Amino acid sequence: MFTIIVKENTLEMASAAFEVLKEVLDKKPDAVLGLATGSSPIGLYKKMIEDHKLTGRSYKDVVTFNLDEYVHLDRNHSQSYYTFMKEHLFDFIDIDLKNVHIPNGNADDFDAEVMRYEEELSKFHVDVQVMGIGSNGHIGFNEPGTPFTATTHIEALKESTRNDNARFFASIDDVPTHAVTMGIASIMKAKKIILLASTSYKAKAIAAMIHGPVTEKCPASVLQNHPDVVVIVDKAAASLLADEGH
């Protein structure tokens, strides 16, 4: 079930997302958070840091699982998702890095790594999963065509995804071709999901997720089968929705 919140700008989106997250953290200081990278969650992470500084809210008992990581990027590479999480959140809150889980993009044995990550994840129950959406409807790095039954696995990135993410690399050739990602089945186990999207570039994907058929062609459409998804969008991203943005 979707709860759709349409906001004026990314600042208001971040505040709305933080309100949802705060409700979970207030009740459960040792919550299990599913986290994501990309530009969409950055405002929310800023809010978390601000609140941590202002109220002293502690993250020392919080456990986190990130959705994905690029394959063959060292975790200290400037564009690894490990570096992203350190630079946008972990370095500014009192999280215990022992409780942080991000797939190892530089594993020697990727079969073992995907099994290890899924096994670790299965020991917990994610209370709230934060995520963005790809312009082609991907969630995590589950590209169109990924079976809904998939657990953590290696995904070959679509050219459109590599193009979307090329802005963070010196050239398209530097964008990794593969990623380790939590699967759709793994993501669907989260008790609650917060999905953030802004700009008209995401409007088609948001409309397909909410109004389109539930199909592996649009991975995010699987969320129609989830009991609690809070979709927080700006007007541009909401512009193709039936009741919003007009």
Question: Is 68 an annotated catalytic residue?
Answer: yes
SS3 111: helix
Question: Is 138 an annotated catalytic residue?
Answer: yes
Buried b (16+ CB within 10 A) or exposed e, 197-222: bbeeebbbbbbbbbebeeebebbbbb
The answer to whether 172 and 209 have CB atoms below 8 angstroms apart is no
Of 34, 140, 176, 219, which lies in the binding site for ligand GLP, with binding defined by CB under 6 A?
140
Residue number with CB closer to ligand GLP (3 or 39):
39
Of 25, 31, 130, 133, which lies in the binding site for ligand GLP, with binding defined by CB under 6 A?
133
The answer to whether 226 and 139 have CB atoms below 8 angstroms apart is no
Stretch that binds ligand GLP, among 31-39, 54-62, 219-227, 234-242 (CB under 6 A): 31-39
Stretch that binds ligand GLP, among 3-11, 37-45, 215-223, 237-245 (CB under 6 A): 37-45
Of 40, 64, 106, 221, which lies in the binding site for ligand GLP, with binding defined by CB under 6 A?
40
Provide the angle, in degrees to the nearest 10, between the axes of the packed helices 42-55 and 10-27. 50
The 10 Å Cβ neighbour count of residue 225 is 11
Beta strand extents in the chain (DSSP E only) = 2-7, 32-35, 63-66, 68-70, 100-101, 128-131, 153-156, 178-181, 192-197, 229-234
We find the least distance from the C-beta atom of residue 67 to ligand GLP, in angstroms, to be 5
Residue number with CB closer to ligand GLP (103 or 132):
132
Of 132, 137, 176, 245, which lies in the binding site for ligand GLP, with binding defined by CB under 6 A?
132
Question: Is 155 an annotated catalytic residue?
Answer: no
Of 13, 32, 48, 67, which lies in the binding site for ligand GLP, with binding defined by CB under 6 A?
67
Stretch that binds ligand GLP, among 8-16, 57-65, 133-141, 203-211 (CB under 6 A): 133-141
What DSSP designation does 106 have?
Answer: T
Q: What is the DSSP string of 60-75?
A: TT-EEEESEEETT--T
Separation of alpha carbons 44 and 55, rounded Å: 16
Residue number with CB closer to ligand GLP (60 or 168):
168
Residues that are catalytic: 68, 136, 138, 143
Q: Can you give the binding site for ligand GLP, defined by CB under 6 A?
A: 36-40, 67-68, 131-134, 140-141, 161, 165
